[in-house]
Structure 1
């Protein structure tokens, strides 16, 4: 059984939560009723400093998933050991489970990742619900898989121009980035979801689904083939505008590595 030690709460970034929540058919708040630590031979690929637990829990609130989740669930989870190498106490703790069902085994869940059992807090509940709500909208930004093309059109005066960058997505829905430069002004950039570039389009706010798709999905450099048909000066301008977009997006920070 788990030793009586406290379980540290990791500081999940938006990307940490989105990675797990968007991939999970089931998001469930549960109360742990029992844990058993597996022996080392029963826990292949276990990260150093972790224990693998067989967990039994009572289902409390279904945030996402089918309505037929049984009242009692079982699953395996990897948890970090404390400084003394002991397993933290989980019994009677409220946890958020991001998981998938196992066919033919009612009540048995498989976590999206071994660490996708999270200690439940009001803040975590709010953040995950916001991600899932945005993720199921019809116009939700799809995963970005690459860049198809880019072009730059210089303006009539030095320092003026516009770059457009067209992205490839998992479901083939179009996403394009526009960057507008004017002398003496900061560059303005925006993202359009759709075939037509909307004049009302804006740059995404940080820690939103669109920001996550771009910051975590765009390559670090504009691929050479995306500007292969451009004149050298225009290709260089497009690369500079793309670098500016990446800078404005900021890093896709992940604080919690998958066990």
Structure 2
């Protein structure tokens, strides 16, 4: 592996070239296949896909280790690598980009505690933002900045299929927004003993309305639904490994903050908290194999 010269870390200028993106709709069958076979969890991919303005399928062309003393913020057990990669396809974003991109990535050491070396032609998915061109440097390479130090995933067909399914949902009108907390809510007892309904209104990053409704029947059975928008009637339960499920399962707090139900009798707040726990149980956990980037 070649030694990285100091100049290599300078921002590189851009040679404009248009690389068309691909936006194909994914069938339910392909989504299910991707979720079942990708080595990454749905949340792993969604964390990065919902954050990165640029997503690339690329192949490693060259790489060089960066000395620890020149790697501020490097986590223990990791090494920083300067990478140049050739673009295979632009999955998200718009040009211009060069045929080759350069970036820094932090990789965990292997089982023996040694730095991982990236082999040439290794296919990867890059989740990044563009970097403004500098005054000096190569004219055949664009600089990008990964949205997280480790926002380079190994490419495989299933992971790309799952990624494209997520991106397709993201660009749909009314796509589920990021949940930032519980705004307020209430519980109303029903006309028969044991009946009741809880409604919870959520805070979102965009300000778009999202609400949860949990209805308890006289026999104690409970049904719930999530509404993404003003219309509550007709809302349903989101399927696992969809954007709506991800927003809720990975964004809702672990417990209902009862202060958000101010003015509600204590018994009704207790029932609302119990109803909220039912929703969390139905959604299930949000498995991740990596730390999500800031703002997720």
Per the TM superposition, whether the score is higher than 0.5 is yes
2:64 paired with 1:36: yes
CA distance in 1, matches of 2:146, 2:105: 7
Q: Deviation string for 1:82-126 (max 9, x for gaps)?
A: 234142332111111000001225600001111111110001101
> Is the CA contact 2:48–2:292 (under 8 Å) kept in the aligned structure 1?
no
Name which of structure 1's ranges 36-45 and 101-110 shifts more when overlaid on structure 2. 101-110
CA distance in 2, matches of 1:221, 1:72: 47
2:66 paired with 1:66: no
- 1:185 deviation in Å? 5.6
Matching residue within 87, 91, 102 for 2:120: 91
Stretches of structure 1 that go unaligned for 5 or more consecutive residues are 3-9
> Is the CA contact 1:12–1:256 (under 8 Å) kept in the aligned structure 2?
no
Q: Deviation string for 1:175-230 (max 9, x for gaps)?
A: 110011113363110011222212x2111111111111111211122222221111
After TM superposition, the runs of 4+ consecutive aligned structure 1 residues lying more than 4 A away are: none
> Is the CA contact 2:39–2:159 (under 8 Å) kept in the aligned structure 1?
no
> Secondary structure of the residue that 2:142 maps to in structure 1?
coil
For 1:129-148, list aligned pairs within 5 A: 129-148=164-183
CA distance in 1, matches of 2:256, 2:223: 18
RMSD, aligned CA: 1.8
For 1:73-88, list aligned pairs within 5 A: 73-84=101-112, 85-88=114-117
1:5 aligns to what?
Answer: none
1:241 aligns to what?
Answer: 275
Matching residue within 94, 101, 104 for 2:133: 104
CA distance in 2, matches of 1:243, 1:72: 49
2:291 paired with 1:257: yes
1:156 aligns to what?
Answer: 191
Q: Deviation string for 1:18-42 (max 9, x for gaps)?
A: 1111110100011111010111111
- 1:239 deviation in Å? 1.1
TM-score (norm 2): 0.80
> Is the CA contact 1:11–1:256 (under 8 Å) kept in the aligned structure 2?
no
> Is the CA contact 2:258–2:273 (under 8 Å) kept in the aligned structure 1?
no
Stretches of structure 2 that go unaligned for 5 or more consecutive residues are 3-37, 135-140
> Secondary structure of the residue that 1:134 maps to in structure 2?
helix
Pick closer, same or farther for the CA change 1:257–1:194 going to 2, 3 Å.
closer
